[in-house]
A and B are shown apart, each in its own frame.
Chain A
């Protein structure tokens, strides 16, 4: 993380870009050729979590803010998309057997007779796409403003974001008539008349998703390379010094939290498109904290590592739950403990420690990457 801009800047750029190209080749060429459409759709689903993991790399890895509520933003993004698709699937012709035609089926089951006001704007695709990014970012802004301006951070922030995840889940499950309840919004069919359930559509969506992911990685890379990125690292390691240097620390934290929220939301929207439904089971405490482990396994400091970590954990989850369902929780628990105690920088850390030096031994002036267990300022550790 501590990138030395004088020496090795060129080498680092090459390394990062090469890594991204490699990932792009894997996602766009190797996987589509090697997997059938069912498995490819599954990889597409995993990749939507990678958006969340990317956000966490910036938010948690770079800036040291652990949010245990990324599922909130993933869910809101997904729900915004699902609301648009659901409205399109509930045209008056398609729902004429209902007592109130033209509203989503679950509303009809819950004796609603008119579309709630907050559903109205979701008739428009443009609005929905803007909402996918804007609503979570706005929520993150409000939460961030309230917390970071009052210098709430660390574990308190983690617990409160977790509480928000719990609140939102209870709200969605409880307000069945407005949100579809525990089942979520299901039975989504078309996007502007284009059937998203066909194999062909799934293939197209997979490529869109992969392209978006690469785009987001580049964007994150840009943020991390910028001065902003360096300030984030500085405030993670010595917040007070950054503050005394005249920066408003809270604003940077709010920005990175909103940015991570928006990324998660894009992932959520792509999830809805590829999987065809959205439910509160992707919002709550358990999925939110699982998303943190994707990032942690890949390496909380590495953008590419987070993507690989997400793929790996989800692949392992699918494999294990298909064949040994009872082993999965053990494996997951062991992952949490192992990643924290044995390799805190995840796969990327292992790569940088063992493989990278062998790959480019001749390179002169390469700065070693310090073991970056996130440094906790002594005063937060002591209270």
Chain B
């Protein structure tokens, strides 16, 4: 596997692949964070999560087209506007879905899984009818193009750096919201003990709706970031959904730190192996390892200890 590469070359390969892995990691983290909130905190399996992400991606696409045709002066900054719109669009749809569907199914997680799968099929077809079956991409503003040469053999693309910075910022914001704000305290209280939380005066239904909306909104932002590193098609979301669930389960469903750690492990393992083995073998090995570890340690890497 390592024959034919000098030590310096191997170093560069690992650095470059490591960086590619970091971009994959960012997408995983953004998707998995939303899912970790919805699945880990609420116990709801949202199979349509990928479609919420793709909704965000399409919003970004529309936004970039709209701004470049009407207000080209704003174009360098369009991405930030698009991100906010993506968050609002996905979050609003999420709250609608929670109100119309999920709230009737809280005690039947397996059924939620099937219902949200149905939702994902419908959304896919909507995307296909509206945007066409072909993949679309956005035009990046100039300042995001190009790459930075770190050494002679190592180059890192700027859009990748930007996505990573964005991921870090969003992670910090989510951490603050979930663990430092009063609202987040309410969310965690409801998830740990719904009855008691209701008894002390928290409106649990409202908390559910906003939590679900927040998770979906983050998925929308993930989709927005995703447009910078890949193109968007109606079924792109489905490609990521199982990986993302594995990331969340592997990390330990209730732990946000675990989610980040497992996203890091999985994405790095996959992208490093991809260089030496074929893409499919790398994927199979990664998934198999994760599944085997999950069989040995079903609770995941990090466990939140809660007395029940």
Seen from chain A, the residues whose Cβ lies within 8 Å of a Cβ on chain B are 66, 68, 146-147, 150-152, 154-156, 158-160, 162-164, 166-167, 170-171, 173-174, 285-286, 289, 292-293, 296, 326, 329-330, 332-341, 344, 373-374, 376, 379-383
Contact = CB atoms under 8 A, between A and B. Distances in A.
B290 to A, nearest CB: 8
B308 A379 contact: yes
B115 A336 contact: yes
A240 to B, nearest CB: 13
Interface of B: 43, 45, 101, 104-115, 117-122, 124-125, 128-129, 194, 238, 242, 245-246, 249, 253-254, 278-281, 283-284, 287-288, 290-291, 294-295, 298, 308
Contact of A158 (B108, B110, B254): B110
A373 B112 CA distance: 13
B291 A332 contact: no
A292 B120 CA distance: 16
* Candidate in B105, B112, B125, B279 with the most chain A CB atoms within 10 angstroms: B125
A166 B242 contact: yes
A320 to B, nearest CB: 12
A333 B109 contact: no
A246 to B, nearest CB: 24
The 5 closest A-B pairs by CB, nearest first: A336-B118, A174-B280, A333-B122, A333-B121, A329-B125
A334 B123 CA distance: 11
Nearest to B108: A376
Contact of B118 (A150, A170, A333): A333
Contact of B284 (A154, A162, A167): A167
A365 B225 CA distance: 63
Contact of A337 (B118, B281, B294): B118
B107 A381 contact: yes
A61 to B, nearest CB: 11
A164 B242 CA distance: 10
A340 to B, nearest CB: 4
B125 A170 contact: no
Given A163-B242, A381-B109, A333 B119 contact: yes
Contacts of A376: 107-110
Chain B interface main SS type:
helix
A361 B43 CA distance: 43
A382 B294 contact: no
27 contacts: A66-B113, A150-B295, A155-B45, A156-B249, A156-B294, A156-B298, A159-B242, A163-B246, A164-B291, A166-B242, A167-B284, A167-B288, A174-B284, A326-B125, A329-B122, A329-B124, A330-B121, A332-B118, A333-B121, A336-B114, A337-B115, A338-B118, A339-B114, A340-B111, A340-B115, A374-B108, A379-B308
A135 B107 CA distance: 36
A167 B284 CA distance: 6
A170 B115 CA distance: 26
Contact of B291 (A163, A286, A293, A329): A163
A329 B123 CA distance: 9
B245 A159 contact: yes
Given A146-B295, A155-B109, A167-B284, 20 more contacts: A152-B294, A156-B298, A159-B45, A159-B245, A160-B295, A163-B246, A164-B291, A170-B283, A174-B284, A326-B125, A326-B128, A330-B121, A334-B122, A337-B122, A339-B114, A373-B108, A381-B43, A381-B106, A382-B43, A383-B253
A66 B110 CA distance: 7
A380 B122 CA distance: 29
Contacts of B109: 154-155, 376, 380-381
A159 B111 CA distance: 13
B283 A162 contact: no
A332 B308 contact: no
Contact of A335 (B118, B278, B279): B118
B118 A334 contact: yes
A167 B113 contact: no
B115 A344 contact: no
B122 to A, nearest CB: 4
A170 B279 CA distance: 10
Contact of B113 (A158, A334, A335): A158
A337 B128 CA distance: 20
